[in-house]
A and B are shown apart, each in its own frame.
Chain A
Amino acid sequence: MLSDRIATLVRSRLLLNSIYLIMRINRIAHTQHSQLKDDADLSLMKPLLIKYDQKPGSLIPLLQGTQELYGFLPSGAFKAISEATGIAPADIYGVATFYAQFRLSPVGKNIIKVCHGTACHVQNANAITDALKDHLGVNDGETTADGEFTLESVACLGCCSLAPVMMIGENTYGKLNGKSAVKILKEIKNQLCTDQPKAEK
């Protein structure tokens, strides 16, 4: 009898614990999202949702299109895609976290992709990442405080004969070393500085 009572007590305790856990996850998720200034305007997604309406296998293009709009996948987008396609948000989240391309948090305006493919690795791509880390004051995968640059390592950009290479925006730079990579970055920074006042005029 006593053992039965204890078993029930343990079970209810476990149940209670798991409820607490879920509440806690929700709370953390909520605070994290609010920190990300996740106030994206979801109406921008409408044409995209219409374009892929009822098309099978369109989840990945939808996520790609969404990321193109916002630079990352805002949490609200999961709900919007789920409502439009009928795919459960958990499944969408599963796909979004499976592929390296998708980001769940905002990134800098300029993404620096340092190639760490085999050819670049044997030509010392680490030196480039190290030099850029020092120069920008961020770690791999992080964004500078001013939101201008995000430093990333990527698998292979397919320019192996020019190794080591990096890509900033749409441009690829080859045959680098730590110094020349920093030099290129400085030039881009200068350009950004001179471009901005022009844009304001």
Chain B
Amino acid sequence: MKKTKVIVGLGSCGIAAGASKTYSALEEILAKGEMDFELARTSCIGMCYKEPLVEIQDEKGKIIYGDMNAEAVEGILKSHLLDGKIDLERAVVAEEQKTPEDSFFEGQVKIALRNCGYMDPESLDEALERDAYKAIKTLIAENKSSMDIIQTMIDSGLRGRGGGGFPTGLKWKFAYQNESNQKYIICNADEGDPGAFMDRSLLEGDPHAVLEGMMIGGYTIGASQGVIYCRAEYPLAIKRLNIAINQAKAKGLLGEKLFGSDFSFDIYVKEGAGAFVCGEETALIASIEGKRGMPRKRPPFPAVSGLWAKPTNINNVETWANIPWIINHGAEAYAAYGTEKNKGTKVFALTGKIKHGGLVEVPMGVTINDIIFKLGGGIQGDKKFKAVQLGGPSGGCIPAELGDTIVDYDSVNATGAIMGSGGMVVMDESTCMIDLAKFFLNFTQEESCGKCTFCRVGTKRMLEMLERITEGKGEDGDIEKLENLAHQIKNNSLCGLGQTAPNPVLTTLKYFRHEYEAHIYDKKCPAKVCKPLLTYTIDPEKCTGCTVCAVKCPTNAIDGSRKQIHFINQEICIHCGECYNVCKFEAVMVD
């Protein structure tokens, strides 16, 4: 009989939810000797909202339990292993039985994430069992020509998953056609979009897939050196990548003269140093070269003159992870998913006010509503779905009315948002759209490298206008000024950062203009977020005269003695909301 295996999900989000403590608790249980099992680890299966996750494999099959903190794990383990009971209430995945969480996986197609959560990311043997390095081996054994592989990529319809959506096959073709004694492959793992963590999960869960993808790219275009540019905020991803590289080298899967051919390939990891603009390819290259990460004019494109002025091909993590699967299963299998111009699958990071936050991989062409309500389980607290933000600071807000929009590059672009790398932040009625636009602009103006005047100064001016509006100092004509400046910035910036920085403002203006007008003309914040625009009053029916609010008020704006109805002096009130937070009787009203 196969030994019982207990596997803990140890991705970054699992660890943040307490999975390391769960792992230690399991070690202690094992040491007690009451139960016998093999303890192992895996990465994120995407179900972040149920972390920490613990999987038990025994004769009953594969069962994954959710919310397994250090206190809960022993009880579940005992009932599962000793009493032979499967607790279906707490199970999130059970092979042959239904669990309350099955809807999260319905409609998902895992290609890029095929191994995430299914193997130990620090074990090469487990990766090999799951077909790692099979694709590159086959290509070399069959002596496939570069043009054949490029044609496979073109046929598969794979488009760059970093957000731009440029056809991968064509990109490779350009890099292949430029003759040079040295070419480079770069993996862009500088996932800077706030609200996106697809690449982190992939690197933490299946580093070998990314390495193999890069090798295939190198083999095709004739490069022998690969560089992974990973942001320093992802220490676990960097650690696992380095482990994977060393394992592959030790096993002869990476290095000189691979698989008995003349093909040599080496990869190293370069840590970023915290600059959002380095996600732009020319800035990224400058950063690898040790310079300030400032974008430069294109052409020449990196395919002609990239890293150290040599032909270079850059793709993002998710793109690289798809490539071995396409080689193994064929272009048709990949192209079978998706819509006419948008083939395959896309990984999204579902976050914000959503019940089931996590990582999902869906075929192109499903609707936003499907993702939010079927996979995501709807909005937290069953509040009203207001909008979804796609594409991070470069993207835009898609309102609930357009929830039937299908997700592919062209349909999303038509709404004014962009597909981006896959961050999907869901918002309910308690999110103020102007506050959100202000948040993104604050981000882009801080991250602007300063090269182009419109991006450097223009975003700052836009931010100041938004700050005035949210402080209740908005004036007639502000909306028009914002629009005018937004178009100027879009037209006069060199790189993607500046060209897309006004998108959050433009899309919120397009779909939520009434909110801007409420802020400017009525001096009200409909979502009750912008504090200077709120009025706090006390409901005399509910006030018990407990004096808590009066004590907490930092400006002594609340009058009233014990057991008497209190009231707020509006002239002294600074709208801090402290009274609202401390009142236990919901007597403080906000308008």
Please state if B16 and A173 are interface contacts (CB–CB under 8 Å).
Answer: yes
- Other-chain residue from A57, A94, A159, A160 in contact with B288 (beta carbon distance below 8 A): A57
Binary A-proximity of B37-57 (CB < 8 A = 1, otherwise 0)? 000000000001101000000
CB-defined contacts of A95 to chain B, threshold 8 Å: 290-292
Please state if A99 and B275 are interface contacts (CB–CB under 8 Å).
Answer: yes
Please state if B352 and A122 are interface contacts (CB–CB under 8 Å).
Answer: yes
Q: Which of A15-23, A41-49, A143-151, A161-169 contacts B (4 or more CB under 8 A)?
A: A161-169
CA distance A156 to B353 in the complex (A): 17
Report the minimal beta-carbon distance from A115 to chain B, rounded to whole angstroms: 8
Shortest Cβ distance from B292 into A: residue:
A98
CB-defined contacts of A98 to chain B, threshold 8 Å: 275, 292-293, 449
CA distance A148 to B423 in the complex (A): 35
Enumerate 29 A-B pairs (CB-CB under 8 Å) in ascending A order. A59-B291, A60-B273, A60-B287, A94-B292, A95-B292, A99-B275, A101-B273, A116-B194, A118-B425, A118-B439, A119-B425, A120-B194, A122-B353, A155-B192, A155-B276, A156-B193, A156-B233, A157-B233, A158-B200, A158-B234, A159-B13, A159-B48, A161-B48, A161-B358, A162-B17, A163-B357, A170-B235, A172-B16, A174-B17
Binary A-proximity of B221-234 (CB < 8 A = 1, otherwise 0)? 00000000000111
Within 8 A of B (CB), among A100-135: 100-102, 116-123
Given A100-B275, A119-B351, A172-B16: A158 in contact with B425 (beta carbons within 8 A): no
Please state if A118 and B13 are interface contacts (CB–CB under 8 Å).
Answer: no
CB-defined contacts of A60 to chain B, threshold 8 Å: 270-271, 273, 287, 290
CA distance A166 to B524 in the complex (A): 32
Binary A-proximity of B296-320 (CB < 8 A = 1, otherwise 0)? 0000000000001000000000000
CA distance A158 to B358 in the complex (A): 11
Given A118-B352, A122-B425, A158-B200: A57 in contact with B289 (beta carbons within 8 A): yes
- Other-chain residue from A100, A122, A157 in contact with B431 (beta carbon distance below 8 A): A122
Number of interface residues of B (CB under 8 A): 53
Asked if B436 is an interface residue, CB under 8 A from chain A, the answer is yes
CB-defined contacts of A116 to chain B, threshold 8 Å: 194
Asked if A86 is an interface residue, CB under 8 A from chain B, the answer is no
Other 11 A-B pairs with CB < 8 A, given A57-B288, A100-B274: A95-B290, A95-B291, A121-B436, A122-B425, A123-B353, A155-B276, A158-B234, A159-B48, A160-B197, A160-B423, A163-B357
Shortest Cβ distance from B278 into A: residue:
A99
CA distance A116 to B436 in the complex (A): 12
Given A101-B274, A122-B431, A155-B192: A172 in contact with B291 (beta carbons within 8 A): no
CB-defined contacts of B200 to chain A, threshold 8 Å: 158
CA distance A2 to B425 in the complex (A): 70
Asked if A56 is an interface residue, CB under 8 A from chain B, the answer is yes
Please state if A118 and B192 are interface contacts (CB–CB under 8 Å).
Answer: no
CB-defined contacts of A160 to chain B, threshold 8 Å: 195-197, 349, 351, 357, 423, 425
CA distance A60 to B353 in the complex (A): 38
Given A60-B290, A122-B425, A122-B436: A159 in contact with B16 (beta carbons within 8 A): yes
- For the complex of A and B, 9 pairs with smallest distance between CB atoms: A117-B194, A161-B357, A161-B48, A118-B195, A100-B274, A99-B273, A59-B290, A172-B16, A119-B351
Please state if A162 and B13 are interface contacts (CB–CB under 8 Å).
Answer: yes
Please state if A155 and B275 are interface contacts (CB–CB under 8 Å).
Answer: no
Asked if B392 is an interface residue, CB under 8 A from chain A, the answer is yes
Report the minimal beta-carbon distance from A145 to chain B, rounded to whole angstroms: 23
Shortest Cβ distance from A162 into B: residue:
B16
- Chain B CB within 10 Å, residue with most, of A120, A122, A170: A122
Asked if B350 is an interface residue, CB under 8 A from chain A, the answer is yes
- Other-chain residue from B12, B350, B352, B431 in contact with A158 (beta carbon distance below 8 A): B12
- Other-chain residue from A100, A119, A155 in contact with B352 (beta carbon distance below 8 A): A119
Asked if A58 is an interface residue, CB under 8 A from chain B, the answer is yes
Query: Which B residues have a C-beta under 8 Å from some C-beta of A?
Result: 12-13, 15-17, 48-49, 51, 191-197, 200, 232-235, 270-276, 287-293, 308, 349-353, 357-358, 389, 392, 423, 425, 427, 431, 436, 439-440, 443, 449
Shortest Cβ distance from B430 into A: residue:
A122
What total of A-B pairs shows CB separation below 8 Å?
135
CB-defined contacts of A159 to chain B, threshold 8 Å: 12-13, 16, 48, 197
Given A58-B290, A99-B275: A121 in contact with B439 (beta carbons within 8 A): yes
Please state if B16 and A174 are interface contacts (CB–CB under 8 Å).
Answer: yes
- Other-chain residue from A57, A61, A162 in contact with B271 (beta carbon distance below 8 A): A61
Please state if A63 and B48 are interface contacts (CB–CB under 8 Å).
Answer: no
CA distance A155 to B423 in the complex (A): 14
Please state if B293 and A99 are interface contacts (CB–CB under 8 Å).
Answer: yes
- Chain A CB within 10 Å, residue with most, of B352, B389, B436: B352
Asked if A139 is an interface residue, CB under 8 A from chain B, the answer is no
Shortest Cβ distance from B235 into A: residue:
A170
Report the minimal beta-carbon distance from B344 to chain A, rounded to whole angstroms: 24
CB-defined contacts of A174 to chain B, threshold 8 Å: 13, 16-17
Shortest Cβ distance from A173 into B: residue:
B16
Please state if A156 and B192 are interface contacts (CB–CB under 8 Å).
Answer: yes
CA distance A74 to B308 in the complex (A): 30
Please state if A118 and B273 are interface contacts (CB–CB under 8 Å).
Answer: no
Asked if A64 is an interface residue, CB under 8 A from chain B, the answer is yes
- Chain A CB within 10 Å, residue with most, of B17, B271, B287, B290: B290
Report the minimal beta-carbon distance from A167 to chain B, rounded to whole angstroms: 8
- Other-chain residue from B271, B289, B357 in contact with A56 (beta carbon distance below 8 A): B289
- Chain B CB within 10 Å, residue with most, of A57, A123, A165, A174: A57
Please state if B233 and A172 are interface contacts (CB–CB under 8 Å).
Answer: no
CA distance A94 to B286 in the complex (A): 13
Asked if A154 is an interface residue, CB under 8 A from chain B, the answer is yes
CA distance A98 to B358 in the complex (A): 33
Shortest Cβ distance from A59 into B: residue:
B290
Please state if A56 and B423 are interface contacts (CB–CB under 8 Å).
Answer: no
Given A98-B275, A156-B193, A159-B12: A122 in contact with B427 (beta carbons within 8 A): yes
CA distance A75 to B208 in the complex (A): 41
- Other-chain residue from B273, B291, B350, B351 in contact with A64 (beta carbon distance below 8 A): B273
CA distance A155 to B233 in the complex (A): 10
CA distance A85 to B235 in the complex (A): 27
Report the minimal beta-carbon distance from B200 to chain A, rounded to whole angstroms: 5
CA distance A122 to B423 in the complex (A): 14
Shortest Cβ distance from B16 into A: residue:
A172
CB-defined contacts of A56 to chain B, threshold 8 Å: 289-290, 308
Shortest Cβ distance from B389 into A: residue:
A118
CA distance A121 to B389 in the complex (A): 13
- Other-chain residue from B49, B287, B392 in contact with A161 (beta carbon distance below 8 A): B49
Given A117-B195, A155-B276, A156-B193: A101 in contact with B17 (beta carbons within 8 A): no
CB-defined contacts of B425 to chain A, threshold 8 Å: 118-119, 122, 160
CB-defined contacts of B287 to chain A, threshold 8 Å: 60
CB-defined contacts of B232 to chain A, threshold 8 Å: 64, 101
CB-defined contacts of B193 to chain A, threshold 8 Å: 118, 156
Report the minimal beta-carbon distance from B533 to chain A, rounded to whole angstroms: 16
- Chain B CB within 10 Å, residue with most, of A154, A159, A163: A159
Report the minimal beta-carbon distance from A23 to chain B, rounded to whole angstroms: 28
Please state if A155 and B273 are interface contacts (CB–CB under 8 Å).
Answer: no
Report the minimal beta-carbon distance from A186 to chain B, rounded to whole angstroms: 19
